[in-house]
Structure 1
Amino acid sequence: MTNIDDKILETLCEEDRELLSTYIEDMNKCRLITESFRGKQKFYIMLVWADILFFTLLLIFSVYQYFTTEAIAEKLTWMGGFVLSVLAISLMKMWYWMELNKLAVTRDIKRVELQISLLAQKLDTK
């Protein structure tokens, strides 16, 4: 932390320190993923994870069927299933990582808002 952050923390009351400590600590990826299941869109997050699992199983099954079939038409069908699965998984993972990024940015904005309000309170008392 910087010198100004230390000065702000010195002036905070205990309740404000607890609130600010939840926003100050950086989240690693595992904790951010865990927090994504507690937000407003937890249903969509769980749905996307279930879809990713489904398309992963479809991908594995398509690859297996592709190598075990002999007819060209069937091979093309299973290759289509493979391509569809890869695209679906890629798109859902991109959406999910954008959601994680949005959560991290929102968290940082809340932290800055809290620090600004605490600084404004400190300036008002002087």
Structure 2
Amino acid sequence: MTGIDEKIRQGMSEDDRAFLASLDAEPGLFQQMGAAFAGTMKAWTVFAFLLSLVFFGLAIWSGFAMFDSETAVEAIGWAGVGLAGFMATGFVKIWFWLRMNHLTLLREMKIIELRLDSLNAN
């Protein structure tokens, strides 16, 4: 810890210190995933999660239908549906990971804001 960090900690109130200590603990992957299901975007996150399950189920189902098809044209059609389902699942998962990254960035910005505020208080 540097001298500036020590000055920052001395200038903070007890509430700020407790809040900053809670932010300093780096959350794990599952904690970050759980945090994505909270806040104002909770409904959209749940919707995206369920949508990814639907797309994945569609992809698996079309894979079985492809092998059970009667003609080559039908098999190619089912393969296309399966590919689209897997791609849609990937896109929704990318959105979810971007949401988690967004929350991590907000957390880091809050830490910087608290540190700057404590510097201005001195």
**Fold shared by both chains (TM-score > 0.5):** yes
**Structure 2: runs of 5 or more not aligned:** none
Matches within 5 A, 1:65-84: 65-84=65-84
RMSD value, Cα: 1.5
Partner secondary structure for residue 26 of structure 1? coil
Q: How many residues were matched structurally?
A: 122
Structure 1 window deviating more from structure 2 (5-14 vs 104-113): it is 5-14
Provide the C-alpha distance between the structure 2 equivalents of 1:2 and 1:103, rounded to a whole number of angstroms: 27
**Structure 1: runs of 5 or more not aligned:** none
Structure 1 partner of 2:29: 29
Task: Tell me the amino acid that sits aligned with residue 72 of structure 1.
Answer: A
Q: Identical aligned pairs, as a percentage?
A: 28
Cα deviation, residue 45, structure 1: 0.6
TM-score between both structures, scaled by the size of structure 2:
0.89
Cα deviation, residue 24, structure 1: 1.6
Provide the C-alpha distance between the structure 1 equivalents of 2:104 and 2:53, rounded to a whole number of angstroms: 25
Task: Tell me the amino acid that sits aligned with residue 38 of structure 1.
Answer: A
Structure 1 window deviating more from structure 2 (43-52 vs 12-21): it is 12-21
Moved >4 Å (runs of 4+): none
Matches within 5 A, 1:30-49: 30-49=30-49
Partner secondary structure for residue 81 of structure 1? helix
Does 1:59 find its partner at 2:55? no
